[in-house]
Structure 1
Amino acid sequence: MHEELENFERNHVWDLVEPPPNYRPIGTKWVFKNKQGPGFLSKEGIDYEETFAPVARLEAIRILLAFAASKGFKLQQMDVKSAFPNGFIEEEVYVRQPPGFESARFPNRVYKLRNALYGPKQAPRAWYARLKSFPLKSRFVMGSVDKTVFLLSHGGDTTIVRIYVDDIIFGGSSHALVSSFAERMSEEFEMSLMGELRVLPRIKQGPEGTYVHQAKYTRDILKKFEMGDSKPMTTPMSTNTTLDADEDGEAVDQKEFRGMIGSLLYLTATRPDIQFAVCLCARYQASPRTSHRQAVKRIFRYLKFTPELGLWYSSGSFLFLRGFSDADHAGCRIDRKNLSCLLVLLQASYDFGLRFGKIPLLVDSTSTISVAKNPVLHSRTKHIDVRFHFLRDHYEKWDIDLVHVASENQLADIFTKPLEFGGFVRLRGYRLKVLALHSSRRRLRANGPASLLS
């Protein structure tokens, strides 16, 4: 507690003042694990205005990992100690003195905040505003789409910085520039250098590429839901599976079912091969039945078979933008809505200074390509609304190129339907680059470092 208060004094977080008339100060309390004040007492328009602060998504961090691997440099991570008290707030906010540390001379005074505390609703926004100002002053350029990424190009070298709340992810092609950035950050804020990036559960960075996996987490959830001794399955969902509401089926524990779905959704950050099956089962969380739980257990049994699958990003690989598009026809048995998938690296790539020409969009339907390429409207296509001709407009502007792909090579299939074992494994490994640690040593010796797998 003394250390925290000393940090407040060092950062000039507050001033002890007489309480203003007709103003009720916000209370404070000590929370020893998750530090926060009772921000729920703050009133909009009085204690705070804007509260939004951008946070990097895991998808954006994966793009950063791919970019760094392709350029052949490692990503580092720094942590800002007591981050929120570094943020300046614009509103007049008063808080009571911390319990047990009231001023003996002025026990009735309150603290007027100059900086944010843990708990007030505007604290994340204030911290982000303070933090982003530092790289901008250092000639970094903020992303036009992703406001948590900053890029500096200097003499042919690139330094990239990404903000993840109070963690700073950074790296670059020049060791001198990266070290200089870390030193200047430490001068501006109280930092702790954490070494190589570890925002995601398990990241291995080597000279030939980066491997990301959640093997330990996979084993933990198998144990948590008593699936550790289950019979392994080779795919997450049978091709014969047809889930519906199953209103006549036996109801199961909703809390347990939702817990299983939530655990699996977190795993999809590094396991896109289970995403379709998990999202399909997630539709039935409101009223889960035995058939739904059996489908979820099938996913766990697949994880038992492949606990160490992970994402592989090759070093020195050529970066390009390519899309895969697919849709089923009235696949949902409840409302007969179509399930569609557009798999593409979109928008964030521009923030890394990457520019692409005509982007190939791979489609396995020749009729779809014909409708998009040829401006023909007749009775068989009039059901297509005008807004769907957005695709045709961009084709005519040469922004994209529609390319036919054989159904067996349509990567989007893995996100729209259950597949048989052979096709599933081929798309999973050769297309998605979801590789098994224990079975890919020979392949990775040719395309990546075996040292990463040990």
Structure 2
Amino acid sequence: MGSVDKTLFLLSRGGDTLIVQIYVDDIIFGGSSHTLVSSFAEQMSREFEMSLMGELQFFLELQIKQGLEGTFVHQAKYARDILKKFNMGDSKPMTTPMSTNTALDADEDGEAVDQKEFRGMIGSLLYLTATRPDIQFAVCLCARYQASPRTSHRQAVKRILRYLKFTPEVGLWYSSGSSLSLSGFSDANHAGCRIDRKSTSGTCQLLGTSLVSWSSHKQASVALSTTEAKYVAAASCCSQLLWMKAILSDFGLRFGRIPLLVDSTSAISVAKNPVLHSRTKHIDVRFHFLRDHYEKGDIDLIHVVSANQLTDIFTKPLEFDAFTRLRGELGVLQVEGVDNALIKGRLRANGPASLLSWCDE
């Protein structure tokens, strides 16, 4: 049993490994040996009434394509179902989920809209963000106005749906050649919220070149400067990196100083230089563990130029060129873009076992 995730189980036998992940009454399992996988399947069939679904292709609205070159995870069918559900199937496509001129606020003088429909849209889109980090910021921004939605808010959500019309078959590509190095990026849009002037944090964590975790959320307190806002975002990213480090230790992976890339030299200085502590006493104490873990050697704060800051896509609306560039660098690709890599066929019989799935009858 995993030390952090209690629904994860691992078995090592010789040089081979079997991995089993349980979700309620469904199981995903795979391993480096077909013999080990087949043995587990036979044992489970004897103990329980289970239906073996075979190679993992569809799971909880996630569509999975596996091949020699990597794995592609997307929700194309779910995206089309959303468009059909909200009568946006014939809408005009948009190239980005949110305009750079969009400035949402409470809009108290605006016309109220159906709250049930608006919340339905937001809920559907939030589940889609499981494989669509490109809409994470726009969806989370619109979700702030569920209590009293107005026409301007619904128009912003419809813009996201029109973007899905333009990119229905987009998902995450995980290359089999990616290295097993852990890294993180963090950024913040200072005072981005027009209502309470709280900043928006954006973080993402990568295993090699593969995006495995990301977030976009409004900070809990008002930051007095850009430095403070980015320092708080970096602390949040650090927390997630340490959790992932603990999870990956169950797989036998060990990491030294994990690089955390920030585009603010001032925020890095606050974390590295104890002399600056007197200037940052007003920052909530829970964020100062960033400095502690830097001193312990768990993370390494590294400056990255703003042009290469991947988390910009999680903190503010972007122009088409910048948006598509960052989307591609995060491994968010069109289905057609990965089909050539997958067309080489199924995994070879003497190669690593592909992921399989079971459903309880």
TM range (shorter): 0.7 to 0.9
Q: Conserved in 2, the CA contact under 8 Å of 1:205 and 1:211?
A: yes
Distance of aligned partners of 1:269 and 1:378 in 2 relative to their CA distance in 1, 3 Å threshold: closer
Aligned to 1:449: 342
Is it true that 1:166 corresponds to 2:25 in the alignment?
A: yes
**What residue identity is the alignment partner of 2:201?**
S
Residue deviations 1:374-422 (CA, integer Å, cap 9, x gap): 1113664343344322111111111100011111211121111111111
Distance 1:297 1:304 in 2: 10
Distance 1:308 1:161 in 2: 28
**What residue identity is the alignment partner of 1:263?**
S
Aligned to 2:263: 364
Q: CA deviation at 1:256?
A: 1.0
Is it true that 1:376 corresponds to 2:275 in the alignment?
A: yes
Residue deviations 1:217-253 (CA, integer Å, cap 9, x gap): 2112112212112111111011111111000001111
Aligned to 2:192: 331
Equivalent of 1:266, from 104, 120, 127?
Answer: 127
**What residue identity is the alignment partner of 2:268?**
I
Distance 2:290 2:318 in 1: 28
Q: Secondary structure at the match of 2:180?
A: coil
Is it true that 1:434 corresponds to 2:294 in the alignment?
A: no
**What residue identity is the alignment partner of 1:303?**
L
**What residue identity is the alignment partner of 1:338?**
S
Name the structure with the higher strand share: 2
Aligned to 2:46: 187
Alignment of 1:270-419 (within 5 A): 270-344=131-205, 346=244, 347-377=246-276, 380-419=279-318
Q: Conserved in 2, the CA contact under 8 Å of 1:268 and 1:275?
A: yes
**What residue identity is the alignment partner of 1:304?**
K
Q: Secondary structure at the match of 2:78?
A: helix
Distance 2:190 2:315 in 1: 10
Q: Conserved in 1, the CA contact under 8 Å of 2:68 and 2:344?
A: no
Distance of aligned partners of 1:451 and 1:287 in 2 relative to their CA distance in 1, 3 Å threshold: farther
Aligned to 2:357: none
Distance 1:381 1:165 in 2: 45
**What residue identity is the alignment partner of 1:240?**
N
Distance of aligned partners of 1:387 and 1:168 in 2 relative to their CA distance in 1, 3 Å threshold: closer
Distance 1:350 1:394 in 2: 18
Aligned to 1:237: 98
Distance 2:331 2:77 in 1: 20
Give the CA RMSD over aligned residues: 1.7
Structure 2 unaligned runs (5+)?
A: 206-212, 214-243, 346-361
Q: Secondary structure at the match of 2:250?
A: helix
Residue deviations 1:134-185 (CA, integer Å, cap 9, x gap): xxxxxxxx11110000111111111101111111211100111111111111
User: Please, which moves more after superposition, 355-364 or 335-344?
Assistant: 335-344
Is it true that 1:215 corresponds to 2:76 in the alignment?
A: yes
Q: Conserved in 2, the CA contact under 8 Å of 1:214 and 1:310?
A: yes
Residue deviations 1:11-34 (CA, integer Å, cap 9, x gap): xxxxxxxxxxxxxxxxxxxxxxxx
Q: Conserved in 2, the CA contact under 8 Å of 1:227 and 1:301?
A: yes
Distance 2:285 2:271 in 1: 12
Distance 1:385 1:294 in 2: 37
Q: Conserved in 1, the CA contact under 8 Å of 2:68 and 2:176?
A: yes
Distance 2:28 2:125 in 1: 26
**What residue identity is the alignment partner of 2:118?**
F
Residue deviations 1:84-128 (CA, integer Å, cap 9, x gap): xxxxxxxxxxxxxxxxxxxxxxxxxxxxxxxxxxxxxxxxxxxxx
**What residue identity is the alignment partner of 2:302?**
V
Q: Conserved in 2, the CA contact under 8 Å of 1:237 and 1:277?
A: yes
- The structure showing larger relative contact order (alpha-carbon pairs under 8 Å, at least 6 residues apart) is 2
Structure 1 unaligned runs (5+)?
A: 1-141
Matched-pair identity in %? 81
**What residue identity is the alignment partner of 2:147?**
A
Distance 1:166 1:386 in 2: 41
The structure that has the greater radius of gyration is 1
Q: Conserved in 1, the CA contact under 8 Å of 2:142 and 2:157?
A: yes
Distance 2:273 2:100 in 1: 35
Q: Conserved in 2, the CA contact under 8 Å of 1:408 and 1:423?
A: no
**What residue identity is the alignment partner of 2:59?**
V
Distance 1:312 1:302 in 2: 20
Q: Conserved in 2, the CA contact under 8 Å of 1:146 and 1:351?
A: no
Q: Conserved in 1, the CA contact under 8 Å of 2:270 and 2:277?
A: no
Distance 2:163 2:95 in 1: 6
Is it true that 1:175 corresponds to 2:34 in the alignment?
A: yes
Aligned to 2:217: none
Distance 1:259 1:385 in 2: 35
Q: Conserved in 1, the CA contact under 8 Å of 2:111 and 2:150?
A: yes
Aligned to 1:157: 16
**What residue identity is the alignment partner of 1:401?**
D
Q: Secondary structure at the match of 1:418?
A: coil
Distance 2:250 2:154 in 1: 42
